[in-house]
Amino acid sequence: MQGNLRKMKTELASPVKYQLPLSDQLVDLNPLIGQAVKLSFTGNIACVHCDRAIKKSFSQGYCYPCFSSLAQCDMCIMKPETCHYEAGTCREPKWGEEFCFQSHYVYLANSSGVKVGITRGTQVPTRWIDQGAIQALPIMKVKSRIISGLVEVAIAQHVSDKTSWQRMLKNLVEPVDLVAKRDELLVLCESEIAEVTQRFGDDAIELLPGAEAVDIEFPVQQYPLKVKSFNFDKTSEVSGVLEGIKGQYLLLDTGVINIRKFSGYEVKLEVM
C-alpha cells in the first residue's frame, strides 16, 4: 500500500478506531497492532493544498507559496486572540468568515495534565483524540474563533495551554475531576470573561454547566518507557512492531512517529 500521508482519521470508540490515509486509500490500523510494519518514505512530497511536488514542506504539509498566502497557515490560527480580520488584513476574508466566524468550543483536556484548548464544533471529539487526551470536557461555546482565543488566554494563566507530547506518549497522566476544575477556573477568570462579554455582546459566550466529561481509550498494548522520535527527513525507513496508537502517533517498539507532521509525504506501508 502506497500513497501520500494525511493525518490519521479517527472514530471515538472503546478503544479509538484509527485509519491511515494513503492518497485515496484508507488503511484500518487497529488490526495491525501487535504486528511488525514498515513505513518507507519514497522521497516524494506533495503540497496538501495545491498538490504541487515540493522538496520541503511547511506547517505540516504545505508548499512555501501556500504557507505564505493561505489564511489557514497564518499565525492567528495558532494564536486566535491575534485575529486581524477587523483590520482588513485577513489573507482570505471569505475563508475567515466561513471558518473563524462560527461556533467554537473552549474545553479542558487531560493529556499530559490538565490543559485548556479551543476547537470548532465540527472537530469535537477529533481534536481531543488528536491531542492524546484521556479525558475532555467542553466548558463553553462561543460565537467566533477570536472570542475562544481571548478566553483561552485568560484560562491559560492558571492551567497549561500545551501538551507535553513525551509525557502523553508515556501515558504519565492520571484521571482528574474536570468538572471541579472547570468550576474553579470559571471563578478565577470571572472578570476576564466578563470583559470579553462586554466587548462582543451578551450572546458571545454560552457556559455549558451540564456538559459531561468524555473518557477516551486508546488502542495501546505497551507504552514506551523512553520516547525516541522518527523523522522521515533523516530516516527514510521506519520499522518495528506496532504496539499502539495515541494522538497522531504510531507507537512502535523501536520508536514513535508523528503521522500528521509528515502530511503530503509519499509512503509505502508494508505489514511484515
Whole-number Å distance between alpha carbons of 179 and 196: 22
**Number of other CB atoms surrounding residue 87 within 10 Å:** 7
- Write out pLDDT tens, residues 197-236: 999 999 999 999 999 999 999 999 999 999 999 999 999 9
Q: Which residue has the cell 497557515?
A: 73
Residue 267: predicted pLDDT:
98
- Write out pLDDT tens, residues 68-111: 999 999 999 999 999 999 999 999 999 999 999 999 999 999 99
The 3-class secondary structure across 8-34, one letter per residue, is CEEECCCCCEEEEEECCEEEECHHHCC
Q: Which residue has the cell 505564505?
A: 68
The distance between the two most distant Cα atoms of the chain, rounded to a whole number of Å, is: 60
**Number of other CB atoms surrounding residue 68 within 10 Å:** 12
